[in-house]
Amino acid sequence: MLVIDEQGKKVGIMLTRDAVRLAEERGLDLVEVGESANPPVAKLMDYGKFLYQKHKQEKEARKKSAGQKPIKEMKIGVKTEEHDLQTKLRHIREFLEKGNKTKLIVMYRGREMAHPELGRQLLERLIQELADLGAPEYMPKLEGRNLVTMIAPHSKQMLEKIKKQKEAEAQAGKTGALEHTEQPSQSVSASKPADADMTKEDK
């Protein structure tokens, strides 16, 4: 990734673990600010101050859109057990079904930052499992020790389209299964004339 320091100057292209180490040495955090760029762009900054300014902007935005539903949030650890993960998934699905955008936050702890791909794999899995109810507004990005994305619920038209596709797939599956079960009876009936011929020859 391309790293920008706290003064806005380019440090250069670095491995994620090296960029994290540099941020720690300077007492700062590493925040991904250009995940769609190639290579991705990350900046060294005071993440606490960054969050304060961001929450302030979000608060002002909420005032302007008071009629909209509140944004929900779900935090998940990289090593969350499967049972707990399924519980969190059920809650997220409930949020999306009620029309709430949901911010997914995968948290890295300790040395887990040395393997950022684990968090990305987990977040990609969650996105896939929620695809029938919503889609990410932006690609997962690194904010300090967190990997985040926002899942927005599908429109009613999209939900209806997905529902019809599932029903069509289910019907196609039933038809295929029925044809498969009928096939052996045809082969048995086809073998009867041959058996009859053999009986005549024996006589």
pLDDT of 194 > 60? The answer is no
Per-residue pLDDT band for 56 (boundaries 50, 70, 90) equals: confident
pLDDT of 36 > 50? The answer is yes
Specify the amino acid at residue 83. Answer: H
CB within 8 Å of 116: residues ≥ 6 apart: 16, 108, 142, 147
- Sequence-ordered alpha helix ranges (H) in 38-131: 47-64, 82-97, 116-129
Per-residue pLDDT band for 63 (boundaries 50, 70, 90) equals: low
Ordered domains of the chain (ranges, CATH): 1-68 (3.10.20.80), 69-183 (3.30.110.10)
Give backbone dihedrals phi and psi of 85, rounded to 5 degrees, phi first.
-65, -40
